[in-house]
Structure 1
Amino acid sequence: MGAHVLGSNSSGNSSEAGSVLPGHLVLLLSVLMVTLVVVVVAGNALVIMAFVVDKTLRNQSNYFFLNLAISDFLVGAFCIPVYIPYNLTGRWMLGKGLCKMWLIMDYLLCTASVFNIVLISYDRFLSVTRAVKYRAQRNMTRLAVFKMVAVWVLAFLLYGPAIIFWEFIVGQSIVPPHECYAEFYFTWYFLLSASTFEFFTPFVSVAFFNFSIYLNIQHRNKDGGACVEVDATPQRAGKKQRDGRVWSVFFMKTRKVSCSEPTAISAVIKDDDALSPSFNRNPDAAQISMQREELSPDSRNSRSSQHMAPDRRTHRWRLSRDKKIAKSLAIIVCTFGICWAPYTLLMIIRAACSGTCVANYWYEITFWLLWLNSAINPFLYPLCHSSFRRAFSKILCPKRQSIQPQIGVQSC
């Protein structure tokens, strides 16, 4: 998103001062820009390749990471390389048609990157605060694809039509020859309205999701000692009389439910076995076991106490997982704010004063901060998840993986 707006603004900035830069400064800027391109392209390409080599990553949550990686990859592969010569020379030499195409792509990709961040944060929010409903829908690929497509459609509608039709509605173009920026470059009320959907609303949303997760974890910490109920509802029970004693035969599922979940959800929870490592060790996660026990108070108490320990372990594991999610979202909020807030504010101020109250170099710095976010995202999101780290290890260290397949993550 930043690229699109800064493309316009910085284009104007570049044209004013780009050609008078000293040679050594031009060289330094070129090296920095090319380095950023390499980091953005390589980092996001690694995320995309992870989906190719590791089929276990193909679930709803990770598809949103893929969507983010695609938008950020195209920022590094198309938007930044096209902008570099314009930034260094101060002249757009690719024609008006390619200028509009570049502006559309720049605004679209940066906006899609922001909307994907919101979608990922919302998905993490549901996984913590609406755990039962989330697990019931986590394998609904069509729903995930619909959300991914919606991100791109909304991102295009925010700026695309304005870039294409603004000059026809106004009746003339304000963009001089050999420059490339959007026609609404100095229209502060449009930029303020668009920024509300592009930055302010996403930032508040991500902050809200993070705060809600924090409150949820705090509540569960206070109730940490509360017992966890067994989700092993008897599916079939029969009583037999033998030697004056009553025996009961139970056929039950071995899956448990944590304190944070209702007990009447066995049909849903059985699909969540893959989430808990304590149950992955058993290849028959939903196995049916027959227990024959004497129906006495002592026997029932013994059975109950045996079920409590694994349930508490499951609760502690989920609580630990959710704390990691909360920390990663806190980093997301801070990084997103640092990269986007300076540019958004300066863009609106600059438009309001027709570019006379903000120095060009300050605008350029905030503009590049937006693209820097695309370089940070592949490290900020997938690398926080062990499943992605294992996939990266397969790509970067294939020999070590074949020699030591039991080790989840290898360091190269």
Structure 2
Amino acid sequence: MVLLCLVTILGNSLVILAFVMDRNLRHRSNYFFLNLAVSDFAVGVFCMPLYIPYSLTGKWHLGRGICKLWLVMDYLLCTASVFNIVLISYDRFLSVTKAVSYRAQQGITSNPAIKMVAIWILAFLLYCPAILFWELVAGHSVVAADQCYAEFFNNWYFLLCASTLEFFVPLLLVTYFNVHIFHDIQRRQRRGSVQDCEPPRSSSLSWRFCGLPGPGASSPSSEAEDNVPYSMKPKKGSLGAECSSPSRDNSVTPENDYSVSFCAKTRSKLQQDKKIAKSLAIIVCVFAVCWAPYSLLMIIRGACQGTCVHSFLYEGAFWLLWINSSLNPFLYSLCHVKFRMAFLKILCHKKFATLRSGSF
């Protein structure tokens, strides 16, 4: 338990520190990852340490006031973590499927801040009023003096409604966003592969020869170009091999040179969208595995008043819920090149300097 707590604190503090030290991470969509890291960091700093003695002894020794505070923080932070995952998925969905309008809003700095604040407000309203005022409305408390759990712990109707909003609806949303991202990428790939098969008839067909729309058409949707990792950008020497000019004498004209560079640029964006879809799929799968057991067991336990679910099984599902907060920082480093480079810069500064000098 202590080890899991330390991993959660150190991993998420590394994400927060990366934002402070690396300006390259201060992109609009990455602020949502920062919001998620803050909620997960607070879980490791406050929720886990206070729960460990309670889990080992079976008794709460810190008083009623601290218990209420712990419950509010635990439900608030875990719910905010889920809602942040939904927000990240929605932002990725827009960046891939509606790139024109998404890029047009890049300069609106207040838009991400409003969404981030809204996440915390919605997370607070879902559980915290019930935690604070359930006892006053009911007129009595059902929690023993040496125990610490919410008054609605055995209320099946409330748990079903709250779990639907906290887990099932978010799971459907992130699945919907992820499926549409994959469909959008597959559609663009099929369109590009069909156009690639068309034989070149004249130099004016160089756009279709590269699997691209003409100069007046809109390019395929993708995230901002500056998010494309350096290693993914095509080198000048490989452009001619991938999108050769259809001119008869193989001369490099301004039109052909522009079409080749535009083709390579668009393909690099498509590769970036593929990485976005894969990283989002991993985050969604981890979220589902960590949250599904607890959400289902909580509803079942409430329906049978705690008699049909073994306490050990419920305790395991409860800790699995917190494991999600420990895994999120590692998902960033594995799925995002800029996060990986920022972590390397912080942890191994000399190695990062060597790699950077070698890349140039």
| Residue identity (%) | 57
Contact kept? 1:273, 1:279, Cα under 8 Å:
no
Question: Structure 2 vs 1, CA of residues 54 and 260 (structure 1 numbering), >3 Å: closer, same or farther?
Answer: farther
- How far apart, CA to CA, are the structure 2 residues paired with 1:176 and 1:261? 72
Question: Structure 2 vs 1, CA of residues 261 and 355 (structure 1 numbering), >3 Å: closer, same or farther?
Answer: farther
Question: Structure 2 vs 1, CA of residues 372 and 272 (structure 1 numbering), >3 Å: closer, same or farther?
Answer: closer
Give the counterpart of 2:226 among 251, 270, 274. 274
Are 1:200 and 2:152 counterparts? Answer: no
Give the counterpart of 1:62 among 26, 30, 35. 30
Deviations 1:181-211 (A, max 9, x none): 0000000100100011100010000100110
Could you say which structure has the higher strand fraction?
Answer: 1
Question: Structure 2 vs 1, CA of residues 281 and 320 (structure 1 numbering), >3 Å: closer, same or farther?
Answer: closer
- How far apart, CA to CA, are the structure 1 residues paired with 2:214 and 2:106? 16
Question: Structure 2 vs 1, CA of residues 137 and 383 (structure 1 numbering), >3 Å: closer, same or farther?
Answer: farther
The equivalent of 2:90 in structure 1 is: 122
Question: Structure 2 vs 1, CA of residues 226 and 143 (structure 1 numbering), >3 Å: closer, same or farther?
Answer: farther
The equivalent of 2:281 in structure 1 is: 330
Task: Tell me which amino acid in the other structure corresponds to 1:184.
Answer: F
Deviations 1:135-164 (A, max 9, x none): 111232211111111111100000010000
The equivalent of 1:176 in structure 2 is: 144
Q: Secondary structure at the match of 2:309?
A: coil
Question: Structure 2 vs 1, CA of residues 149 and 405 (structure 1 numbering), >3 Å: closer, same or farther?
Answer: same
Task: Tell me which amino acid in the other structure corresponds to 1:333.
Answer: V
Give the counterpart of 1:162 among 100, 111, 130. 130
The equivalent of 1:379 in structure 2 is: 330
Contact kept? 1:67, 1:116, Cα under 8 Å:
yes
Task: Tell me which amino acid in the other structure corresponds to 2:317.
Answer: T
Q: Secondary structure at the match of 1:405?
A: helix
Larger radius of gyration: 1
Give the counterpart of 1:317 among 262, 268, 293. 268
Contact kept? 1:175, 1:183, Cα under 8 Å:
yes
Question: Structure 2 vs 1, CA of residues 334 and 402 (structure 1 numbering), >3 Å: closer, same or farther?
Answer: closer
- How far apart, CA to CA, are the structure 2 residues paired with 1:397 and 1:142? 34
Question: Structure 2 vs 1, CA of residues 211 and 50 (structure 1 numbering), >3 Å: closer, same or farther?
Answer: same
The equivalent of 1:39 in structure 2 is: 7
- How far apart, CA to CA, are the structure 2 residues paired with 1:152 and 1:360? 30
The equivalent of 1:10 in structure 2 is: none
Structure 1 runs of 4+ aligned residues shifted over 6 Å read 278-282
Are 1:368 and 2:287 counterparts? Answer: no
Question: Structure 2 vs 1, CA of residues 325 and 94 (structure 1 numbering), >3 Å: closer, same or farther?
Answer: same
Contact kept? 2:79, 2:123, Cα under 8 Å:
yes
The equivalent of 2:108 in structure 1 is: 140
Contact kept? 1:132, 1:261, Cα under 8 Å:
no
Task: Tell me which amino acid in the other structure corresponds to 1:359.
Answer: H
Structure 1: which 5+ runs fail to align?
1-32, 229-257, 283-297
Are 1:359 and 2:327 counterparts? Answer: no
- How far apart, CA to CA, are the structure 2 residues paired with 1:114 and 1:167? 27
Q: Secondary structure at the match of 1:92?
A: coil
The equivalent of 1:399 in structure 2 is: 350
Are 1:102 and 2:70 counterparts? Answer: yes
Question: Structure 2 vs 1, CA of residues 379 and 279 (structure 1 numbering), >3 Å: closer, same or farther?
Answer: closer
The equivalent of 1:348 in structure 2 is: 299
Q: Secondary structure at the match of 1:355?
A: coil
Task: Tell me which amino acid in the other structure corresponds to 1:381.
Answer: Y
Question: Structure 2 vs 1, CA of residues 127 and 403 (structure 1 numbering), >3 Å: closer, same or farther?
Answer: same
Contact kept? 1:40, 1:375, Cα under 8 Å:
yes
Contact kept? 1:60, 1:140, Cα under 8 Å:
no
Give the counterpart of 1:84 among 28, 39, 52. 52
| CA shift for structure 1 position 225 | 4.0
| CA shift for structure 1 position 307 | 2.3
Task: Tell me which amino acid in the other structure corresponds to 2:258.
Answer: H
| CA shift for structure 1 position 134 | 1.2
For the aligned residue pairs, the C-alpha RMSD in angstroms reads 2.8
Question: Structure 2 vs 1, CA of residues 359 and 42 (structure 1 numbering), >3 Å: closer, same or farther?
Answer: same
Deviations 1:33-81 (A, max 9, x none): 0010011001001000001111121121110010000000000011000
Give the counterpart of 2:257 among 306, 314, 318. 306
Could you say which structure has the higher helix fraction?
Answer: 2
Contact kept? 1:192, 1:348, Cα under 8 Å:
yes
Deviations 1:349-377 (A, max 9, x none): 10000001111111111111100000011
The equivalent of 1:289 in structure 2 is: none
Q: Secondary structure at the match of 1:174?
A: coil
Scaled by the length of structure 1, the TM-score of the pair is 0.74
